[in-house]
Structure 1
Amino acid sequence: MLRRLDIPYVALNPGASYRGFHDSLVNYLGNRSPQMLLCLHEDHVISIAHGYAKVMEKPMGAVLHSNVGLMHGLMGIFNAWGGRVPMMVVGATGPVEPEKRRPYIDWIHTAKDQGALLRQYVKWDDEPRSADGIVEAFLRGYQITASTPRAPVYICLDAGLQEEPVPENFHIPTAERYAPISPACAPQAQIDAVADLVRSAKNPLFLFGRGSVDQGDWDRRVELVEAAGAYVMTSTRGKAVFPTDHPRHAAPPLTWLDASAKPIVEAADLIVSFDWVDLNGTLRQVNRNSDQLASTIVHVTQDRSLHNGWDMGYFGLPPADHPIDANPDAFVGQLLDALRRRGRNGSTWDGIARVDPGPAEFSPNRDKEIIPFDLEVAVMKVAEGRKVTLANNNIGWSTRAYMIRGPLDFLGHNGGGGIGAGPGLTIGAALALRDSDRTVIGVMGDGDFLQGVTALWTAAHYQIPALFIVANNRSNYNDEIHQAAMAKDRGRPPENRWIGQQIDKPAPDLAGLARAQGVEAEGPVENVDDLMAAIERGLAVVDAGRPYLIDARIALGYTKKIVTRGH
Structure 2
Amino acid sequence: MKADEKPARIDPTAGPRWGSDVAAAMLRRTGIKYVALNPGASYRGFHDSLVNFLGNEEPTMLLCLHEDHVISIPHGYAKATGEPMAAVVHSNVGLMHGLMGIFNAWCDRMPMLVIGATGPVEPQKRRPWIDWIHTAKDQGALLRAYTKWDDEPRSPEGIVEAFLRAFQATRSEPKAPVYICLDAGLQEKALERPIAIPSPERYSPAATPHAPQEVVARVADLLATADNPLLLVGRSSLRQEDWDRRVALAELSGASVLTSIKERACFPTDHPLSAAAPFFWVGPRGKEVAREADLIVSLDWPDLNGFLQQFTDNPDALAARIVHVSLDSQLHNGWSMDYFGLPPVDVPVAAGADVFVAQLLPELQSRLSGRRRWQGETRNPAKEPAYSDDSANSIAPRDVEAALAKARGDLQVTLAHVTIGWAGDAYHFREPLDFLGHDGGAGLAAGPGITIGAALALKDSGRIVVGILGDGDFMQGATALWTAARYGIPALFVVSNNRSNFNDELHQEAVARVRNRPVENRWIGQRIDGPALDHAGLARAQGVDAEGPVTTVPELEAAIARGLAHVRHGRPYLIDALVKPGYANPPLSRGKS
Q: TM-score under structure 2 normalisation?
A: 0.94
Residue of structure 2 aligned with 1:302, choices 313, 319, 327: 327
Other structure's SS at 1:468 match: strand
**Does structure 1 retain, via aligned residues, the 8 Å contact 2:279–2:424?**
no
**Does structure 2 retain, via aligned residues, the 8 Å contact 1:378–1:532?**
yes
Alignment of 1:419-438 (within 5 A): 419-438=444-463
How far apart in 2 are the matches of 1:22 and 1:550? 35
Residue of structure 1 aligned with 2:525, choices 497, 500, 503: 500
Cross-structure match for 1:132: 157
Cα distance 1:35–1:346, how it changes in 2: closer, same or farther (>3 A)? closer
How far apart in 2 are the matches of 1:370 and 1:344? 49
Cross-structure match for 1:279: 304
Cross-structure match for 1:454: 479
Other structure's SS at 2:113 match: strand
Other structure's SS at 2:357 match: helix
> For each residue in 1:518-554, what CA deviation from the matched residue of structure 2 results, as whole angstroms up to 9, or x when unmatched?
0000101000111111111111111110100000000
Cross-structure match for 1:81: 106
**Does structure 2 retain, via aligned residues, the 8 Å contact 1:229–1:344?**
no
The one-letter amino acid of 2:396's match is I
Cross-structure match for 1:178: 203
Other structure's SS at 2:588 match: coil
Residue 359 of structure 1: CA displacement?
A: 3.7
Residue of structure 2 aligned with 1:543, choices 568, 574, 589: 568
Cross-structure match for 1:254: 279
> For each residue in 1:213-245, what CA deviation from the matched residue of structure 2 results, as whole angstroms up to 9, or x when unmatched?
111111111111111111110001111000001
Q: Which shows bigger deviation, 451-460 or 362-371?
A: 362-371
How far apart in 2 are the matches of 1:423 and 1:286? 34
How far apart in 1 are the matches of 2:323 and 2:124? 59
Alignment of 1:111-126 (within 5 A): 111-126=136-151
The one-letter amino acid of 2:579's match is I
Residue of structure 2 aligned with 1:52, choices 51, 58, 77: 77
Residue of structure 1 aligned with 2:382, choices 357, 374, 382: 357
Cross-structure match for 1:109: 134
Residue of structure 2 aligned with 1:414, choices 439, 447, 454: 439
**Does structure 1 retain, via aligned residues, the 8 Å contact 2:407–2:557?**
no
Residue of structure 2 aligned with 1:383, choices 404, 408, 411: 408
The one-letter amino acid of 2:46's match is F
How far apart in 1 are the matches of 2:297 and 2:320? 10
Other structure's SS at 1:2 match: helix
The alignment covers a number of residue pairs equal to 566
Residue 23 of structure 1: CA displacement?
A: 0.4
Other structure's SS at 1:255 match: coil
Runs of 4+ in 1 over 3 A off after TM superposition: 344-350
How far apart in 2 are the matches of 1:349 and 1:121? 45
Q: Which shows bigger deviation, 193-202 or 335-344?
A: 335-344
Asked if residue 61 in structure 1 is aligned to residue 81 in structure 2, the reply is: no
How far apart in 2 are the matches of 1:261 and 1:354? 11
Other structure's SS at 2:522 match: helix
How far apart in 1 are the matches of 2:254 and 2:192? 63
Cross-structure match for 1:402: 427
Residue 348 of structure 1: CA displacement?
A: 5.1
> For each residue in 1:304-337, what CA deviation from the matched residue of structure 2 results, as whole angstroms up to 9, or x when unmatched?
0010000000000001100010000000100012
Cross-structure match for 1:190: 215
Residue 345 of structure 1: CA displacement?
A: 6.2
How far apart in 2 are the matches of 1:176 and 1:346? 42
Residue 470 of structure 1: CA displacement?
A: 0.2
**Does structure 2 retain, via aligned residues, the 8 Å contact 1:21–1:162?**
yes
Asked if residue 469 in structure 1 is aligned to residue 494 in structure 2, the reply is: yes
**Does structure 1 retain, via aligned residues, the 8 Å contact 2:404–2:560?**
no
Cross-structure match for 2:549: 524
Residue of structure 1 aligned with 2:55, choices 30, 52, 72: 30
Residue of structure 1 aligned with 2:578, choices 546, 549, 553: 553
Cross-structure match for 2:537: 512
Other structure's SS at 2:257 match: strand
Cross-structure match for 1:154: 179
The one-letter amino acid of 2:113's match is M
Structure 1: 5+ residue stretches without partners: none
Residue of structure 2 aligned with 1:228, choices 253, 258, 275: 253
How far apart in 2 are the matches of 1:217 and 1:428? 24
Cross-structure match for 2:352: 327
How far apart in 2 are the matches of 1:5 and 1:233? 37
How far apart in 1 are the matches of 2:374 and 2:236? 25
Q: TM-score under structure 1 normalisation?
A: 0.98
How far apart in 1 are the matches of 2:93 and 2:461? 36
How far apart in 2 are the matches of 1:169 and 1:526? 64
How far apart in 2 are the matches of 1:227 and 1:346? 4
Residue 432 of structure 1: CA displacement?
A: 0.3
Cross-structure match for 1:338: 363
Structure 2: 5+ residue stretches without partners: 1-25
Over the aligned positions, Cα root-mean-square deviation in angstroms equals 1.3
Percent of pairs with identical residues: 63
How far apart in 1 are the matches of 2:286 and 2:485? 43
How far apart in 1 are the matches of 2:378 and 2:56? 56
Asked if residue 292 in structure 1 is aligned to residue 321 in structure 2, the reply is: no
